[in-house]
Structure 1
Amino acid sequence: MSNAQELAARIVQARSTRTLIDAGSVESCKPASADEAYVVQQLVLDKLGGCAGYKIGAGSPSAVPQCAPLPSTRVFGAAAGIRGDEYARIGLELEIAFSFAEDIDHRLSEQADEVIDAIDTMSVVVEVVDSRFDAWPNVDPLLQLADLQNNGALVIGDSLPYDRGFDFSAPHVSFYCGSHEIFQGAARHPAGDPRRLIAWLVARTLETGHSIPARTVLTTGSYTPLYMATGPGVVRGMVEGIGKVEFEIR
């Protein structure tokens, strides 16, 4: 068994048994690069039953993005809510996701402007942040990347046709968990304009000879601080000009 296969097996086991991994116990099979972490991601996804989307992020407007697939079993409509006992921890982040109406393949130019113009919808979503490692967030970044970049689930709220004139860099948002206000006001996206992350993912995908199926959900990082939920409650988020997302943690 290769190092990538060994690490992927440990991550899949942790997901299925809801037990956490001691990062020290996988030191010998830790990825040495982002490319190796992406190999682990694919091995994990193959065991989880397919991909419904991608999360993409960057820590600054000039940082190189990273991505992770979203397992189809962990992408939900808001009406479904989530079960708290299915996660080791429940971190909450309010994001905007995008999708394309048609498959994205070699017929689309890799030019960023053309990719962005092809976007069809924008949606208000909440990412549930979780990790399979017990010491998280104090875990090697490459292990986190291999672990689907700490994705637990994605909950999808309202969607609208894409508006290229919308201010994606600093929208007005509000975000609550129960009665606790997580954030309200003009938000700043860490990557600047998050649409650049969509262009990056498309270029990366086309370079590897793959495609992005129509309606694949592409979420682009949080506008709000990470909030750790401590029990059941109702999560409410709003992005002014797009809509809201509301769901229950049971």
Structure 2
Amino acid sequence: MTMDVSHRGLTDAQVAALVDELAEAARTGARIAPASRRHPAMTVSDSYEVQRLWRARREAEGGRVAGFKIGLTSVAMQQAFGLDEPDYGVIFEDQILAAGSTVRATAWNNARVEVELSFLLASALVPGQGSGADGAFTAEDILAATACVVPSLEILDCHVREEGMTVIDTIADNAALGAVVRGDREFDPASFDLSWVGAKLRINGEIVETGVSGAVLGHPADSAAWLANRFAEQGETIPAGSLLLSGSFTRPLPVAAGDTVVAEYQGMGEVRVQFT
């Protein structure tokens, strides 16, 4: 199914209560029962409203938005959730880690890692200013607006109990974003065929997963264009300076204390993080 982001099934009070629950779960490390089971009428539109209000609360508390993540960008993941398009969440500055960081695995629930490419925007993506039909954004528009491409790891988090959890729950939970490990090297997007960047993921020296960036909607820039068009439908601009985490081209793999995780990118070096 295609996500219907125009229909609400919950009241404003119910949405506000879910924002409170998820904010408290994030603070304490607890996990809440899936809202989709407690509220069968809940829709994807409700989930994004929960996410929007949670973002507004964090900004009111001084949090600074650094960019956005795109998830469910492979056909396999979409089929697993019964969808035919991605989802998205927001990245705050305090969720971006430097490559080589040492972090506590217990900082996230059920921590998992994914291999991705990020686009750092040099110019804003303003609704109606794409080169496609009716001003829609294309992959070419994304590449033209990009200052550099940055190899990145995503650390997934989850504040919802897994039994019975659906995409409605993960979207409300900021699309399961825990953190972004930002590579320390930046690349001109014109210097690579970004649909054909290979990567190997090592955990404690062992290759546990391989992938190619074309698994992300055929081209990671197409993923970023999808996000820009989704925002444009809502009249929202993606600001210059935003980091767009374009989606994983490996499976999410669990990590634990003591694990050393290294993603090796073809022609782009590596991104490393140590879990304690």
Work out whether the TM-score is over 0.5.
yes
Alignment TM-score, normalising by the size of structure 1:
0.88
Q: What residue identity is the alignment partner of 2:54?
A: V
Q: Distance in 2 between matches of 1:185 and 1:143?
A: 27
RMSD in angstroms over aligned alpha carbons? 2.5
Partner residue of 1:56? 70
State the Cα distance separating 1:36 from its structure 2 match.
Answer: 1.8
Give the unaligned 5+ runs of structure 2. 1-11, 79-83, 131-135
Farther off after superposition, 220-229 or 160-169:
160-169
Helix, strand or coil at the partner of 1:36 = helix
Partner residue of 2:19? 8
1:130/1:151 contact within 8 Å kept: yes
Q: Is the alpha carbon distance of 1:185 and 1:151 closer, same or farther for their aligned partners in structure 2, counting shifts above 3 Å?
A: closer
Structure 2 counterparts to residues 59-138 of structure 1, below 5 A:
59-60=74-75, 63-106=84-127, 108-109=129-130, 110-112=136-138, 113-135=140-162, 138=164
2:156/2:177 contact within 8 Å kept: yes
2:98/2:184 contact within 8 Å kept: no
Q: Percent identity?
A: 22
State the Cα distance separating 1:229 from its structure 2 match.
Answer: 0.8
Q: Is the alpha carbon distance of 1:183 and 1:28 closer, same or farther for their aligned partners in structure 2, counting shifts above 3 Å?
A: closer
Q: Is the alpha carbon distance of 1:81 and 1:52 closer, same or farther for their aligned partners in structure 2, counting shifts above 3 Å?
A: farther
Q: Distance in 2 between matches of 1:79 and 1:155?
A: 8
Q: What residue identity is the alignment partner of 2:159?
A: R
Give the unaligned 5+ runs of structure 1. none
State the Cα distance separating 1:230 from its structure 2 match.
Answer: 2.3
1:169/1:188 contact within 8 Å kept: yes
Q: Is the alpha carbon distance of 1:95 and 1:30 closer, same or farther for their aligned partners in structure 2, counting shifts above 3 Å?
A: farther
Q: Distance in 2 between matches of 1:65 and 1:185?
A: 19
Q: Distance in 2 between matches of 1:149 and 1:183?
A: 22
Number of aligned residue pairs: 248
Q: Is the alpha carbon distance of 1:231 and 1:31 closer, same or farther for their aligned partners in structure 2, counting shifts above 3 Å?
A: farther
Structure number with higher strand proportion: 1
Moved over 3 A (4+): 26-31, 184-188
